[in-house]
Amino acid sequence: MVAALCVLMMVLAIYFVWLYRKAKLGNLRRNGQVGFRTKAIMSSDETWGYIHAKYSWLFLSEAVIMALMSIDLAFSCIFTKGVSAFDPTCLVILWVLLVIMLGATAVIGIYANSAANNHNKRG
């Protein structure tokens, strides 16, 4: 179970790297599933591309955090000899990393929306 969770987190980390590359190169198409989705950002393909290229580094930072979470979980299981003796410190680290990731996404989303509004006003 824990091994599957570690693998899932690493797959998500790789997915975030893929999203980073697509966003950085301007190849991330406007969609309703991935990326910043506010009214201002989704107003045009040009605004969508501009914002996601500008804030693409967020995808990369989320990839790093996901990889760290996976490594933290794996090390905890290795050093505590399995899930039955799961180290509570590991759980705290996982939650802290998750809160950092979600908090950063929310804050950067606010900045991205503001930048999209400014970009749309300029034409």
CA angle 67, 94, 73 (to 5 degrees): 60
Structural domain boundaries, residue 101: 2-122
- Confidence bin at 84 (pLDDT 50/70/90): low
In the chain, how many domains are there? 1
Cα–Cα distance, 110 to 104 (Å, whole number): 10
Half-sphere exposure of 11 (CA within 13 A, CB side): 6
pLDDT in tens, 26-76: 999 999 899 999 999 999 999 999 999 999 999 999 999 999 999 988 888
For the CA atoms of 18, 12, 4, 82, the dihedral, rounded to the nearest 10 degrees, stands at 120
- Dmax over CA atoms of the chain, in Å, equals 59
Residues 6 or more apart whose Cβ sits within 8 Å of residue 12:
66
The pTM assigned to this predicted structure is: 0.86
Q: List Cα–Cα distances, 122 to 7, 51, 88, 96, 119, in angstroms.
A: 44, 14, 51, 39, 5
